[in-house]
Structure 1
Amino acid sequence: MSDASLGTPEQLRDPDYSPPLHKAIPLGIQHVLAMFVSNVTPAIIICGAAGFGYGSNSPDFPQMIYMIQMSIFFAGVATLFQSIGFGPVGARLPIVQGTSFAFIPIMIPLVAGKGVDAIAVLMGGIAAGGLFHTFLGLFIGKLRFALPPLVTGLVVTMIGLAVVKVGIQYAAGGVPAIGTEEYGSGLNWFMAGVVIVVIIALKFFARGMLSVSAVLIGLLVGYAVAFVLGEVDLGNVGRAAPLALPNPLHFGLEFSVASVIGFCAMSFVSAVETVGDVSGITKGGAGREATDKEIQGATFADGIGTAVSGLFGALPNTSFSQNVGLIAMTGVMSRRVVTIGAIFLIVCGLNPKFGAIISSIPIEVLGGGVIVMFGMVVAAGISMLSDVNWNRRNMVIFAIALSLGLGLQLEPAALQHMPETMKVLGTSGILPAALVAIVLNLILPEELSSESTEEVSGGLSGHGTGSISQGDKH
């Protein structure tokens, strides 16, 4: 609920209203706490997938600190693009930007085991995808017909399914430890388990920011436990510089067909997600529909923020849905509040010591948080699928798309005779699943919609509208 001392109901619904500074600063930091863990986790995962980062003895360890630092910094910059804006860029709404989980399944095959040199191809794809995302802003509203809940729910579910393995690997000790005796040890699972238990306790028994920041608090508790157990190495914190500016083309910039196609395809999905977030903010915070200008400006800011991030060594940016929920919870629609949060992110992103502290989190502790976060992505996708009318037509579309996408992801060797580009795109799982779902949804006749599901449901559900009732949806 909103605090009456912040302003009148009319003021709180106005994006241009500025609450008193002593109230606005805590509200801005609150937004940062809600998104912080989700924002830095992708950088750690990608560095780990490439084969560098964890372990202070690694010669490329500073590169992971830099990517974490830039993920924080450019989340703040992209948020300023949204909240303050310039020209047609920016919705001028309280939209918080951050590194997107959606791109992780695309990025991992591009860098897997290839070391820090592979990051240049990643950055080329990010820059190209960001420019394509910006171009989509010209007509994104007209393309939403191609992404009904059947498609968007499938894509979000596939994103979660594609990366849940990462959480288990981290909780067990990390990819470098696979095959060793310490992998999957009781100590490793104890540290991860502490994080999971704390998150569950806060989500179920706490309210307000304690609940919203459950993952962050869970990681802090897990970090404290790991420190007591002697599993935390803070050596790099002392060696890190107190200030470091963004370095243009830090990782270089290379373009590959697989990288460009992959990022452009996922940018389309990300753009539609941003449209949904903008609509959620205006409905939850102001009780109105988003304007075409706001949707277009938000998409422009999303794309430009991503393109700029790629030039400086950060990962793709998108609007953060958890902060949409935070606005609905606080009732404060002020974009000035989010601007304060953005400035806080930028200041933190300029300090490598901050990145070094984050990189000192034991991978088992991070694994506990990642298990919950990626599980929530899957749950969000399933929640979206509950809005689907589960007739025979939609069940066939879903079945084929899921089987093909998940199957290729689980058995990448099935594409061993394909060109390298096709292998990278196909084994992500998400792109083939999304492509099949979109195409089948557009070409299969609607006449199938009225037919029974009994012959394909196997007795699991004979209902035409799905097994989740309206009262069970969240």
Structure 2
Amino acid sequence: MRHLIFGLNDKPTPGLAFTAALQHVLASFVGIITPTLVIGNATGLHNEIPYLLSMALLVSGIATFIQVKKIGPLGAGMIAVQGTSFAFLGALLTAGGLVKSRGGSPEQIMAMMVGICFIGAFVELLVSQFIHRLKAIINPTVTGVVIITIGVSLIKVGMTDLAGGFGAEQFGSPNYLMIGLCVLGLIIILSTFKNPWLRLSAILIGMLVGSLAGYGLGIFEPKDLPDLPLIAIPQPFKYGFDFDWQLFIPVAFIYFLTAIETSGDLTAVSYFCGLPVKGSSYLARIKGGVMADGFNSMLAAVFNTFPNTTFGQNNAVIQMTGVASRYVGFYIAGILVLLGLFPIIGAALQLIPKPVLGGATLVMFGTVAVAGVNVLTHEPLDRRRTVIVAASLGLGLGSMMVPELLQHTPSLLQVAFSSPVAVAGMTAIVLSLMIRPDAADQTSEQNSAQADTIANQES
């Protein structure tokens, strides 16, 4: 793609690669640690939270390396940052609550969570073996809808951070909004410069200036770093291993939906890297990425953290920096591993004010949604596809706007469809299978396919 400074197999200098990698880490950091913070507090493992955060970061680094390196059949071979999935949060908290109601200790709660997550990872591994045969599911219509929903749902997170973050005492304070919008504006301005260093550093500079300005103006008060051990030592199944079929079923279903979500994220990465988003090479890339997702989630359970998935945040970083080099992914993995091994570094990054993070991520999350639109319009929006897209986005985004929609349905449905991505993705899949294209639509699709073939041959 023309906007790329470094393509998939280009090798930036170490300085450029590190700068680009650092921005990926900063864009993903909050997403990686937040589910662990929520679950850790809910299970009563307050003293263990620093260790759990270290494991979340460490596994994210190892998982990102596997995804980027492509070890045998595992991995997509692109910048695909792995991190703790929000999709499982509701199911795991429900499981933890049931174990606690039975008189289970915090350690027993963790043992159950890692047990059902470990076994559940096999579901995604199994799905990955059939991804290349599921053309009715893995297509621009379904993946476009999924990516758009991911982007829009992330925008809500960015706006919440810009206003001060969940639970902020002065949520929506003018000072918070001023700092967040200034960071957003600075990043937009820097990203328009032709100088590659300024484009690469736009997010980093914006966050640094915003943090310093906030502290200088007295809007944010510096906090003391907690007393933490120098190095976090990984301990496989530290809290034990347990399993329950009733608690496993919702988690297994979400693993299936996560495979579809990962397909959407990897489609967006492919698009930003200038790679095809259809055809045999595309399906092979998706298969390897989804398989790595399942394997990495299994690895996460072994090391006492929660299922990993491919993050959508880094798609926008590629778009804004113009760096799609997979070698940057190795730097990202290294930084995350270091953050995991040395808890004090992660604790220091936690001091970044939420409005600064919100301002930095808001435009990136919007770019993810735009990527979904581009994937969706890769083929003409005929009558059939228009109906599928309209219904899927309506139900998916509607469930996000009205979360109490399913409050009177069985808990299994509430857990399974707590994610707008799950609702939109499943709706698109079901409708794609139910509504068959008519003769006119098939002719349109064939003409589009022929045009793509001619364009590829000419290029």
Q: Same fold (TM over 0.5)?
A: yes
| Partner AA of 2:423 in structure 1 | P
Q: 1:415 aligns with which of 406, 425, 430?
A: 406
Instruction: Give the secondary-structure state (helix, strand or coil) at the position aligned to 2:167.
Output: helix
| Partner AA of 1:228 in structure 2 | G
Q: 2:59 aligns with which of 69, 74, 80?
A: 74
* Shift of residue 156, structure 1, vs aligned partner: 1.3
Q: 1:99 aligns with which of 78, 83, 86?
A: 83
Counterpart contact for 1:106–1:425, Cα < 8 Å: no
Counterpart contact for 2:32–2:57, Cα < 8 Å: no
Give the structure 2 partner of residue 318 of structure 1.
310
Give the structure 2 partner of residue 428 of structure 1.
419
Rounded Cα–Cα distance in structure 1 between residues aligned with 2:365 and 2:48: 25
Rounded Cα–Cα distance in structure 2 between residues aligned with 1:213 and 1:366: 15
Structure 1 residues 210 and 264: alpha-carbon distance in aligned structure 2, compared to 1, 3 A threshold: farther
Rounded Cα–Cα distance in structure 1 between residues aligned with 2:271 and 2:175: 45
Rounded Cα–Cα distance in structure 1 between residues aligned with 2:339 and 2:405: 44
Rounded Cα–Cα distance in structure 2 between residues aligned with 1:300 and 1:244: 28
* Shift of residue 350, structure 1, vs aligned partner: 0.5
Query: Runs of 5+ in structure 1 lacking a partner?
Result: 2-8, 54-58, 452-464, 466-474
Instruction: Give the secondary-structure state (helix, strand or coil) at the position aligned to 2:234.
Output: coil
Residue 358, structure 1, aligned to residue 346, structure 2 = no
Residue 142, structure 1, aligned to residue 142, structure 2 = no
| Partner AA of 1:259 in structure 2 | V
Q: Pairwise mapping of residues 115-194 of structure 1 onto structure 2 (< 5 A)?
A: 123=114, 126-177=117-168, 182-194=170-182
Q: 1:215 aligns with which of 192, 203, 215?
A: 203
Query: Could you tell me the percent identity over the aligned residues?
Result: 27
* Shift of residue 106, structure 1, vs aligned partner: 5.0
| Partner AA of 1:269 in structure 2 | E
Give the structure 2 partner of residue 35 of structure 1.
24
Counterpart contact for 2:254–2:416, Cα < 8 Å: yes
Residue 385, structure 1, aligned to residue 376, structure 2 = yes
Rounded Cα–Cα distance in structure 2 between residues aligned with 1:30 and 1:289: 34
* Shift of residue 444, structure 1, vs aligned partner: 1.1
Structure 1 residues 432 and 448: alpha-carbon distance in aligned structure 2, compared to 1, 3 A threshold: farther
Instruction: Give the secondary-structure state (helix, strand or coil) at the position aligned to 2:408.
Output: coil
Instruction: Give the secondary-structure state (helix, strand or coil) at the position aligned to 2:372.
Output: helix
Instruction: Give the secondary-structure state (helix, strand or coil) at the position aligned to 2:134.
Output: helix
Residue 245, structure 1, aligned to residue 233, structure 2 = yes
* Shift of residue 192, structure 1, vs aligned partner: 1.5
Q: 1:263 aligns with which of 255, 262, 266?
A: 255
Instruction: Give the secondary-structure state (helix, strand or coil) at the position aligned to 1:104.
Output: coil
Structure 1 residues 46 and 206: alpha-carbon distance in aligned structure 2, compared to 1, 3 A threshold: farther
Rounded Cα–Cα distance in structure 2 between residues aligned with 1:377 and 1:121: 34
Structure 1 residues 440 and 296: alpha-carbon distance in aligned structure 2, compared to 1, 3 A threshold: closer
Query: Runs of 5+ in structure 2 lacking a partner?
Result: 443-447, 449-459
What CA deviation, in whole Å up to 9, does each residue of 1:30-57 have, x standing for no partner? Answer: 452242123212134435656959xxxx
Alignment length (residue pairs): 421
Structure 1 residues 88 and 344: alpha-carbon distance in aligned structure 2, compared to 1, 3 A threshold: same
What CA deviation, in whole Å up to 9, does each residue of 1:436-462 have, x standing for no partner? Answer: 2112112213117559xxxxxxxxxxx
| TM-score of the aligned structures, taking structure 2 as reference length | 0.75
Structure 1 residues 309 and 172: alpha-carbon distance in aligned structure 2, compared to 1, 3 A threshold: same
* Shift of residue 224, structure 1, vs aligned partner: 1.5
* Shift of residue 292, structure 1, vs aligned partner: 7.9
What CA deviation, in whole Å up to 9, does each residue of 1:393-435 have, x standing for no partner? Answer: 2221122222222222322333222111101222322222211
Rounded Cα–Cα distance in structure 1 between residues aligned with 2:322 and 2:159: 32
Instruction: Give the secondary-structure state (helix, strand or coil) at the position aligned to 2:192.
Output: helix
Counterpart contact for 2:124–2:255, Cα < 8 Å: no
* Shift of residue 98, structure 1, vs aligned partner: 2.3
Rounded Cα–Cα distance in structure 2 between residues aligned with 1:208 and 1:355: 28
Give the structure 1 partner of residue 225 of structure 2.
236
Give the structure 2 partner of residue 6 of structure 1.
none
Counterpart contact for 2:233–2:341, Cα < 8 Å: yes
| Partner AA of 1:146 in structure 2 | I
What CA deviation, in whole Å up to 9, does each residue of 1:290-322 have, x standing for no partner? Answer: 498766544433321222123321551427764
Counterpart contact for 1:279–1:290, Cα < 8 Å: no
Counterpart contact for 1:149–1:388, Cα < 8 Å: yes
Rounded Cα–Cα distance in structure 1 between residues aligned with 2:214 and 2:379: 44
| Partner AA of 1:361 in structure 2 | I
* Shift of residue 95, structure 1, vs aligned partner: 4.3
Instruction: Give the secondary-structure state (helix, strand or coil) at the position aligned to 1:406.
Output: helix
| Partner AA of 2:59 in structure 1 | F
Structure 1 residues 161 and 343: alpha-carbon distance in aligned structure 2, compared to 1, 3 A threshold: closer
Rounded Cα–Cα distance in structure 2 between residues aligned with 1:203 and 1:125: 43
Counterpart contact for 2:60–2:308, Cα < 8 Å: no
Rounded Cα–Cα distance in structure 1 between residues aligned with 2:282 and 2:230: 43
Rounded Cα–Cα distance in structure 1 between residues aligned with 2:348 and 2:249: 36
Instruction: Give the secondary-structure state (helix, strand or coil) at the position aligned to 2:82.
Output: strand
Rounded Cα–Cα distance in structure 2 between residues aligned with 1:428 and 1:372: 22
Instruction: Give the secondary-structure state (helix, strand or coil) at the position aligned to 1:146.
Output: coil
269-278 vs 114-123, which moves further = 114-123
Give the structure 1 partner of residue 455 of structure 2.
none
Structure 1 residues 94 and 397: alpha-carbon distance in aligned structure 2, compared to 1, 3 A threshold: closer
| TM-score of the aligned structures, taking structure 1 as reference length | 0.73
Rounded Cα–Cα distance in structure 2 between residues aligned with 1:445 and 1:291: 24
